[in-house]
Structure 1
Amino acid sequence: MDPRQARTRRSLRDAIYVLAAEKPIEQVTVAEVARAASITRDTFYRHAPTPVHLLADFLGEELDEFLAAHADLPDRSDTELSVFDESERDLLQHVAGHATIYRNAMSPRLVGPLRDALINRIENALTHHLTRHPHIAPMREAGISPERHARMLVAYAGTGTVGAIEEWLLSGDLDDIDAAARTIIAASPGWWLGRHPTP
């Protein structure tokens, strides 16, 4: 990315974060973002179709950074920690760090592009983990192809995680990230966590 484009991206990120913290994201206009970022409307549209999509893009970039650090998770069936302990805490830390923005993007659930950004990235991380550790998955039903089997498992876990995060955002303070992470992990099937029942 050339320096001018990088400056524009920084200005857009700063502008959308400030505006999204001040009021519901669906009330933020392209004109407001362009004015705050000192760019033209045409320049805005080169980066995103709407302020909601722009916000989802920038928050998604942050999610990409921390998920990359957790990309190659081991199968930790021999420890007290689950395979997702650290990544779940980091995900919730990200959400808590932008709590006002996320809450302003709910009505009552997260607006579509933002919800999709979270779900897609969680699903990508889970797909990567399942591809690396296919032996952890539960037995596949005969009428379901291997590809559909994996997609269904990942979709259920990704959407459920985001639903739990939405409830966490709606229901009070976000001070105890560890407790929230443990609650979400407790709701997850043991096989995802590398915990297999004793035969």
Structure 2
Amino acid sequence: MTSRSQQKAREADPRFQRSYQALIGAILALVDQEPVGQISIIRVVEAAGVTRPTFYQHFPDVAAAAQAAALRRLDAAFVPLDARDAEASSTVAALRQRIEDRARPALQHLAAHRTFYLRVIEGAATAAFFGEVVRLVAAHLLPDTSELIARRGNASRQDLTDMLAGGTMWLVVRWLRGELDEDADGLAQRLAGISVALVQPDLPAGGQGSGS
């Protein structure tokens, strides 16, 4: 049995999944209370009710556990995509509203857990973590937008998606840090406006979009 197949078998084990969920819950609770750098593995395993060797089956260190917990929490904050909505996004106004409606609950969630996410960003984040955030943003907020701009044929869809999702992520990070004076609704409108500006030549106006 190869190392890869061993990993898959282990991940399918209910005990492995239970200990993983326990560790994620523990690190979420601990980072809600204090910075990542002040949290030890001993405290995480005590809170999770698992052993130290079990921790190392899942994560190399506390920072990696905090990253995983943040990505899990963020992923759950997005509204599930409905394929039928994409068919309705045939005008600038419809697409803008669709992006706002996707972004708003995620931004409201980020605002409610601002301290947690800032602690992860400032105390645990790596390039790989930001890459995963970009992937989430692209998958949840921008799938139809990136396809529209990719039709122009001057860049790959993946490149365009990464550029737009990366820019979106850094605007949100700046917002979390208090550098942008907007609430969640205002930022959702701003992100939607930026996105549709890239595809506006490819879609009919379809009436006024919301926001500025």
Supply the RMSD in Å over aligned alpha carbons. Answer: 3.4
Asked if the contact 2:104/2:185 (under 8 Å) is kept, the reply is yes
1:150 to partner: Cα distance: 1.1
> Aligned partners of 2:129, 2:190: CA distance in 1, in Å?
23
Asked if the contact 1:190/1:196 (under 8 Å) is kept, the reply is no
1:9 corresponds to: 20
* 1:105 lines up with 2:81 in the alignment: no
Gaps of 5+ in 1: none
Match for residue 39 of structure 1 among 47, 50, 54: 50
* 1:157 lines up with 2:171 in the alignment: no
* 1:186 lines up with 2:199 in the alignment: no
1:87 to partner: Cα distance: 1.1
1:159 to partner: Cα distance: 0.7
Gaps of 5+ in 2: 1-11, 206-212
Question: Which segment is superposed worse, 149-158 or 87-96?
Answer: 87-96
Asked if the contact 1:71/1:129 (under 8 Å) is kept, the reply is no
Q: How many equivalent pairs are there? A: 189
Deviations, residues 82-128 of structure 1 (Å, cap 9, x unaligned): 131111112212322321111112339x7225433311212334674
Identical aligned pairs, as a percentage? 23
Question: Which segment is superposed worse, 33-42 or 18-27?
Answer: 18-27
1:160 to partner: Cα distance: 0.6
Over 3 Å counting, the alpha-carbon distance change for 1:126 and 1:86 in structure 2 is closer
Asked if the contact 1:84/1:193 (under 8 Å) is kept, the reply is no
2:102 aligned partner, one-letter code: S
Match for residue 129 of structure 1 among 144, 148, 171: 144
* 1:77 lines up with 2:91 in the alignment: yes
1:137-148 to structure 2, matched below 5 A, reads 137=150, 139-141=152-154
Asked if the contact 2:99/2:141 (under 8 Å) is kept, the reply is no
Aligned-partner SS, 2:122: coil
TM-score, scaled to structure 2: 0.71
Give 1 or 2: higher helix fraction. 2
